[in-house]
Amino acid sequence: MKFGILTASDRCAAGLAEDRSGPLIASLTAEYGETLRYVCVPDERETIAKTLTDLCDLGADVIFTTGGTGFAPRDVTPEATEDVIEKKVPGIPEAIRAQSLKITPRAMLSRATAGIRGKTLIINLPGSPKAVRESIAVVLPVLEHAVETMSGQTQSCAVGQ
């Protein structure tokens, strides 16, 4: 699989803080494929949307975003994601929130979304490295099947058939 990674953070994009979540995503996905591009951008809806589109056009099978999914005034990653996706995939953020609720009640405050643009799956993850690690563990087991299905390489989604 080919991955795109987008960190949405004003502070990291300005060089005022170190992004630990984007590089963590790259290390957690390394055994599943290659990172085509890692980008850190400010919390600007249009910039995030344009970068997501560029990563899709580059040929990423899966794009993980990190940051910008909370309640802060500049948290706009879900809105930017919805600007570019063609199909919503609500089960992914639902599964992440369900698992995360076992760890912290604050998980219900996540506004993360997921969806498909062309043949690329875009998944919003939280901004903290701890939450990234916990959230990505939920989705990694299904990514290969998701990518195969989007590319038309699988005929049935039924397990065991």
Domains of the chain in sequence order: 2-150 (3.40.980.10)
Sign of CA dihedral 32, 34, 40, 45: negative
Q: How high is the pLDDT of residue 153?
A: 81
Matching residue, tokens 């990190």? 66
Between the two ends of the chain, the Cα-to-Cα distance in Å is: 24
pLDDT (tens, 9 = 90+) of the chain, 161 residues, equals 999 999 999 999 999 999 999 999 999 999 999 999 999 999 999 999 999 999 999 999 999 999 999 999 999 999 999 999 999 999 999 999 999 999 999 999 999 999 999 999 999 999 999 999 999 999 999 999 999 999 888 655 555 54
Q: How high is the pLDDT of residue 130?
A: 97
Q: How high is the pLDDT of residue 161?
A: 46
Query: Does the pTM of the predicted model rise above 0.75?
Result: yes
62-66 and 2-8: which strand pairing?
parallel
Q: How high is the pLDDT of residue 66?
A: 98
Sign of CA dihedral 101, 104, 109, 110: negative
3-state class (DSSP) for residue 109: helix
